Amino acid sequence: MSLPAFTPSGPPAFLGVEHSATGRCWRDRLDERGQARALAIAQQAGVPELLARVLAGRGVEAAGVAEYLDPTIKRLLPDPNGITSMSAAAARIADAIVKSERIAIFGDYDVDGATASALLARYLRHCGLDPLIHIPDRIFEGYGPNVDAVRNFAAQGITLLVTVDCGTTSIEPLNEAHRLGLDTVVIDHHQADEQLPPAVAVVNPNRADDLSGLGNLAAAGLVFITLVAISRELRARNFWTPARTEPDLLSYLHLVALGTVADVVPLSGLNRALVVKGLVALRRRESIGATALMDVSRLSGPPEAWHLGFLLGPRINAGGRIGRADLGVRLLIEDDPAEAARIAFELDRLNKERQAIEIAALAQAETEATMALGENGNAATIVTAQPGWHPGVVGLLAARLKERFGRPAFAIALDPSGVGTGSGRSIPGVDLGNAIRRAVREGLLQKGGGHAMAAGVTLAKDRLAAFRAFLEEALKQSVAAARREDVLKIDGAVSAGGANVELCNLLAKAGPFGAGNPEPVLALPAHTVVFADPVGESHVRARLRGDDGKFVNVIAFRAAGQPLGRALMERRGSTLHAAGSLAVDRWQGGERVQLRLIDVAVN
């Protein structure tokens, strides 16, 4: 059912673990050079040894510790005009603002699209405009601009169309916009083909002729930089007056942080600074919509990056997946507390409904994947497809399959006409977006696109077998290489007694954690499993005791029935090495540390 286990060459295994419960080798995140860097950080910056190791493991040099621990937007924000076409985009949007033109914002239906659309809408409202916001229906319209929507904009007197988090590959719809006399500005971060759509400006740091080096920005971050450019353009035109003051763009950073974390872009450099400052803005609870969302999510304690990805983001996404696609944007631009609370409640309800739909579909998807791997255990990819799946949950199914089986995975919903709409998720080191663009060029897909870690496809049912074969051939080498590098990197070791709130607060200084800035993984050597039991739908909870007689609570998410969960329960009363990340569990005003278990190994 799994690819052959590889024993990586390199330094000795951490705690001697060459093959864990999940089939991985444990390695010290720091090589000899990294250990020397950690020592320099500890000595020169005066930080504790474990924090120094974490910083060194993320490429921080001793001289840069202070700036890393307190990243600032001012220092890291680039000149917006370093992005190709930015000056043209800022000038055209500034023209529309000065002339009070009718502007339409066309966004994506995910969290990044919702936050990016809300950012631009709030800015335009501050400037005295009332933009039309259109978020497409995932099922009936699909991703990106479409001809019918463009014609509707023209009929309503729109003169400027701004696409956010989409538009780069929308050749036909934007041709129609041009034919109807609509100017278009594209603000997008998805991978681009050589041919770009007809537009006044295509602002996309991932287009081939862009040298800005900002291709890791989420759409929300890119819109924020665009707003900086627009404000500068309006300033040069003397648009701002005592009666019409320039907006404080930093007050929008809660939206940028939410979009950045939810879109799983690397939390390094500017992205990390945007999230750090955005979390500060969220903690002030000044945004009515975001505050209503935090309250309905029953968020305990100050918001952290993982709250954005696992509590707030899924609720905004629920509107686009199984409800009204524009609910998320409406919440984020709402200034009336009662209406914001009503929308947030509806999103919370939709999220619960989405969870129920996902659980039923996931059981089918896992069964199909298991059967396929039973026939070909060395398969590099998984492609599942079923009639009756809700198109709004296929991305979630793909993510779960990728997580369980450790390889790129697709889940495709087949409609009664035999057309499949699906999503794929990849593993580090395997570029899914590039493969999907090739599949489109070769005629295997009706439509497709994305980036390295995620992609969307539309195809005929009778092309499924050919699509599976294409993916196997296209990705088998990169998947094999990624599997060879699939080791668990350990940042340090700690005992149950040392796993306290103070340590969590110390390690948090290196955050926020996420893609590109992984949460510190700590090993707990030779701890006794006091108890281990299933909990919830698919989790396992446990308690470990160290040689010091101290205890730490453990949660292993989605581990029930899996190798990790089975290993944990089979070792009741025995010792094992455990590895995971520490988190502070806040409940009824109290704080206690919890180990989020990633792996275990017999000592």
Reported as a single tens digit per residue, the pLDDT across 247-267 is: 999 999 999 999 999 998 999
- Answer yes or no: are the C-beta atoms of 422 and 410 closer than 8 Å: yes
Q: Percent of the chain at pLDDT above 90? A: 87
Average pLDDT value over all residues in the chain: 94
Q: Give the strand order in the sheet containing 132-134.
A: 132-134, 103-106, 160-164, 183-187, 201-203
Query: Which CATH number, 3.90.1640.30, 3.40.50.2300, 2.40.50.140, 3.40.50.1100, labels domain 76-349?
Result: 3.90.1640.30
Question: What is the CATH architecture of 14-57+491-601?
Answer: Beta Barrel (2.40)
What pLDDT score does 452 carry? 85
Distance CA 270, CA 218 (A): 11
Task: Tokens for 355, please give them.
Answer: 């969870």
Do residues 230 and 90 lie in contact, with contact meaning Cβ atoms separated by under 8 Å?
A: yes
Phi, psi of 535 (to 5 degrees): -150, 145
Q: Which residues pair with 459 in a beta bridge?
A: 420
Query: Token pair for residue 49?
Result: 């040894």
Alpha-carbon distance values, 423 to 30, 413, 432, 464 (Å): 35, 9, 11, 13
- φ/ψ of 305, rounded to 5, equals -55, -40
Is-contact 11 28, C-beta < 8 A?
yes
What is the model's pTM?
0.90
The reported pLDDT for the residue numbered 8 is 46
Q: How would DSSP label each residue in 348-395? A: HHHHHHHHHHHHHHHHHHHHHHHHHHHH-TT-S-EEEEEET--GGGHH
Look at residues 445, 480, 439, 476 and name the one whose alpha carbon lies nearest to residue 463.
445
Above 70 in pLDDT, residue 10? Answer: no
3 state DSSP class of 563 = helix
pLDDT tens digits, 117-167: 999 999 999 999 999 999 999 888 888 999 999 999 999 999 999 999 999
Say if residue 4's pLDDT is above 50.
Answer: no
Report the pLDDT value the prediction gives residue 11, as an integer from 0 to 100.
72
CA 5 to chain centre: 28
Q: List, in sequence order, every beta strand (DSSP E) within 443-574.
A: 447-451, 454-460, 488-490, 492-493, 522-535, 539-545, 551-556
pLDDT at 5 over 70: no
Cα–Cα distance measured from residue 182 to residue 197, given in angstroms and rounded to the nearest whole number: 13
Give per-residue pLDDT as tens, 510-559: 999 998 899 999 999 999 999 999 998 889 999 999 998 999 999 999 99
Average pLDDT over residues 26-42: 96
Q: Given 3-state DSSP classes, what are the helix, strand and coil percentages for the chain, each rounded to the nearest 5?
A: 45, 20, 35
**Quick one: pLDDT at residue 486?**
83
Domain boundaries, the chain: 14-57+491-601, 76-349, 376-483
CA distances from 258 to 122, 304, 316 (A): 15, 10, 10
Residue 430 has pLDDT above 60, yes or no: yes
* Single-letter residue type at 586: R
- Structural contact between residues 207 and 466, judged by C-beta atoms closer than 8 angstroms: no
Mean pLDDT of all residues in 295-322? 92
Half-sphere exposure of 593 (CA within 13 A, CB side): 20
pLDDT tens string 379-429? 999 999 999 999 999 999 999 999 999 999 999 999 999 999 999 999 989
Between β-strands 454-460 and 447-451, what pairing exists: parallel, antiparallel or unpaired? antiparallel
pLDDT digits (tens, 9 = 90+) for 438-489: 999 999 999 888 888 889 999 999 999 999 999 999 999 999 999 888 899 9
> Per the structure block, which two tokens stand in for 568?
């944990």
pLDDT reported for residue 12: 84
Binned at pLDDT 50, 70 and 90, residue 301 comes out as confident
3-state DSSP call for residue 250? helix
d(CA 94, CA 108): 23
First vs last C-alpha separation in the chain: 26
Quick: pLDDT tens for 69-111.
999 999 999 999 999 999 999 999 999 999 999 999 999 999 9
Tokens 């304690």 label which residue?
301
CA-nearest of 494, 491, 495, 599 to 547 is: 495
Classify strands 590-601 and 575-587 as parallel, antiparallel or unpaired: antiparallel
226: Cβ contacts below 8 Å, ≥ 6 apart: 80, 86, 89, 90, 93, 120, 187, 203
By residue count, the chain amounts to 603
Q: Do 8 and 517 contact (CB within 8 A), yes or no?
A: no
132's enclosing H/E stretch is strand 132-134
Architecture in CATH for domain 376-483: Roll (3.10)
* Other C-beta atoms lying within 10 Å of the C-beta of residue 531: 12
Of 149, 157, 109, which is closest to residue 131 (Cα–Cα)?
157
Taking the mean position of all CA atoms in its chain, how far away is CA 276? Answer: 16
d(CA 345, CA 355): 15
For residue 7, the model assigns a pLDDT of 45
φ, ψ (nearest 5 deg) of residue 420: -105, 135
Q: Are strands 454-460 and 522-535 parallel, antiparallel or unpaired?
A: unpaired
